[in-house]
């Protein structure tokens, strides 16, 4: 079953553009999740926003975002206000820089996404960007709006596709020196061979089963046992997939030649 894309837009490098779609590389949907029920009736409990002063429920149409500028003093922003400040990076991943593939520290990598062509016509443009990054052993740096916030992202070629990592901001990363500075620089030399023997004995090929969740497995087993005593429920009807956006792919070779010529002209003018 095809996975519905999380995001659709365009991948752009100078004058080369192709439609792409993006899906998170990780998922929490398989985890066991519980609903809160009323023990007396068995019905689900519904949560709702309550006005902190009047104590009355707030209807969906009256909800708004508020930025605190003082105690009990807010600047109110509606959805229309937020939509009005949307950036180009809402729908376009424009690669502005390339850096060596190993130059970005792991601690800045936040969440991986799979990026793939969203249109058969765009496969060639996608493939040439991917393979050029592979050949030069670089990753692309760009920006993308994720969850109404513009985030820095890095594009890493991987197999036939591209992995897009959202990056943490600099002020979100704590310097490792502050935590490692009091640790001994070197271990006792005579002890290292002993630990190496232990490492060799415990070495194996990587498998996802090494990181299985025993609590998850126990919960699934318990739920399966309880399901046998319940009547089966009807399956929900499948929703129709949204049509892919129209392609605006230009001739790949012409676009590349114009991009290189434009870059050379810009450098000579400096």
Structural domains of the chain, ranges and CATH numbers in brackets: 7-26+86-167 (2.40.290.10)
Q: Among 44-53, 60-69, 219-228, whose mean pLDDT is lowest? A: 219-228
Separation of CA 102 from chain center: 20
Question: Which conformational region is residue 57 in: left (phi greater than 0), alpha (psi within -120 to 50 degrees), or beta?
Answer: beta
pLDDT at 135: 96
- What confidence tier does 154 reach under pLDDT thresholds 50, 70, 90? very high
CB 77 within 8 A of CB 68: no
CB 161 within 8 A of CB 130: yes
pTM given for the model:
0.67
Write the CA distances from 100 to 4, 109, 110, 155, 246, integer angstroms. Answer: 32, 15, 18, 12, 33
pLDDT at 141: 95
Q: Among 131-145, 183-197, 201-215, whose mean pLDDT is lowest? A: 201-215
Mean pLDDT, all residues of the chain:
82
Question: Going by C-beta distance under 8 Å and a sequence separation of 6 or more, which residues neighbour residue 128?
Answer: 16, 252, 256
Q: How many whole angstroms separate alpha carbon 163 and alpha carbon 150?
A: 18
- The per-residue DSSP string of 25-41 comes to S--STTS-----B-TTT
pLDDT at 233: 60
- The per-residue DSSP string of 65-105 comes to EEEEEETTEEEEE-HHHHHHT--GGGTEEE--EEEETT-S-
Instruction: Work out the percent of the chain whose per-residue pLDDT is above 70.
Output: 84
Beta strand 7-13 with 92-94 is parallel
222-229 contacts at long range (C-beta below 8 A, 24 or more positions apart)? 223/32
- What confidence tier does 129 reach under pLDDT thresholds 50, 70, 90? very high
Question: Is the pLDDT confidence value at 225 over 80?
Answer: no
Output phi, psi for 142, to 5 deg: -150, -165
Q: How many whole angstroms separate alpha carbon 107 and alpha carbon 14?
A: 29
pLDDT at 2: 56
- What confidence tier does 237 reach under pLDDT thresholds 50, 70, 90? low
pLDDT at 121: 84
The pLDDT of 98-109, averaged and rounded, is 93
Q: How many other CB atoms sit within 10 Å of the CB of residue 242?
A: 9
Q: How many whole angstroms separate alpha carbon 238 and alpha carbon 84?
A: 33
- pLDDT tens track for 11-54: 999 889 999 999 999 887 777 777 888 888 888 888 888 988 89
Output phi, psi for 102, to 5 deg: -100, 10
CB 87 within 8 A of CB 145: yes
Q: How many whole angstroms separate alpha carbon 176 and alpha carbon 4?
A: 38
Beta strand 161-167 with 149-158 is antiparallel
Largest interatomic CA distance in the chain:
78
């Amino acid at each position: 079953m095809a996975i519905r894309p999380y995001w659709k837009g365009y991948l752009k490098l100078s004058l080369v553009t192709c439609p792409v779609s993006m899906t998170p590389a990780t998922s929490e949907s398989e985890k066991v999740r519980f609903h809160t029920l009323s023990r007396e009736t068995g019905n689900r409990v519904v949560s709702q926003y309550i006005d902190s002063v009047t104590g009355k429920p707030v209807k969906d149409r009256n909800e708004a975002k508020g930025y605190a500028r003082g105690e009990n003093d807010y600047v109110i922003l509606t959805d229309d206000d937020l939509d009005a400040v949307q950036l180009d990076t809402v729908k376009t991943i424009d690669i502005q820089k390339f850096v060596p593939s190993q130059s970005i520290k792991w601690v800045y990598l936040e969440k991986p996404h799979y990026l793939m062509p969203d249109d058969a016509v765009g496969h060639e443009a996608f493939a040439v960007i991917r393979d050029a990054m592979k050949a030069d052993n670089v990753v692309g740096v760009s920006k993308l709006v994720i969850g109404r916030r513009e985030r820095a992202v890095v594009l890493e070629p991987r197999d036939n596709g591209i992995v897009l990592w959202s990056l943490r901001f600099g002020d979100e990363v704590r310097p490792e020196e502050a935590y490692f500075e009091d640790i001994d620089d070197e271990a006792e030399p005579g002890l290292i061979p002993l630990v190496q023997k232990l490492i060799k004995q415990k070495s194996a090929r990587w498998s996802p089963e090494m990181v299985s969740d025993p609590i998850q497995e126990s919960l699934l087993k318990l739920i399966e046992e309880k399901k046998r005593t319940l009547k089966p429920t009807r399956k929900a009807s499948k929703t129709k997939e949204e049509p892919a956006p129209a392609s605006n792919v230009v001739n790949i070779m012409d676009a590349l030649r114009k991009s290189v010529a434009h870059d050379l002209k810009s450098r000579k003018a400096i």
